[in-house]
Amino acid sequence: MALIRTDAFRDIDRFLEQFWASPDTTRTHAVPMDAYRKEDSFLIFVDLPGIDPKDISVTVENNVLTVHAERAFPDSAEGVERLISERPYGTFTRQVFLGTSLDSQRIQADYEAGVLTIAIPIAEHAKPRRIDVASRDDRNVITA
């Protein structure tokens, strides 16, 4: 397997944050993602709606891909009362362990319509290749 999911306790953390945190609290959120293999690449799609691309960071260290993004809580104008606050604000992070079959030197990231797309090519040494079979049978065959 080339990608390893790392958020085993994400649902429990999310529940506890919602239970104890107030809307004004800056907190860390796990973000939903999808991962697919397409030809010679793995594609990861991370939902980050409403986040400015300059506030998104994608890093790789020791085969761990980390997506980090921030959305600041909007300042309330004087005299404005917040009635509903359901959209998440604060820090968003996601980590994925990359297998050795992926080329972490050639990762590309693109952000469009609130979705961060990360393309991770499969390393050359991990791609299927054809191996020629040599024959040591040098006998001459005589046909009648």
Domain boundaries defined on the chain: 3-74+86-126
Number of H helices, E strands in the chain: 1, 9
Fold of 3-74+86-126: Immunoglobulin-like (2.60.40)
Identity at 140, one-letter amino acid code: N
Over residues 126-140, mean pLDDT: 81
Residue-level pLDDT at 1: 47
Looking at residue 108, what DSSP letter applies? E
Reduced to 3 states (helix: H, G, I; strand: E, B; else coil), residue 19 is helix
Is the pLDDT reported for residue 5 higher than 70? no
Beta-carbon contacts of 119 under 8 Å, excluding residues fewer than 6 positions away, are 41, 42, 43, 107, 108, 109, 110
pTM: 0.70
Q: Which value, to the nearest 10 degrees, does the dihedral of the CA atoms of residues 72, 88, 115, 117 take? A: 80
Place of tokens 């891909």: 65
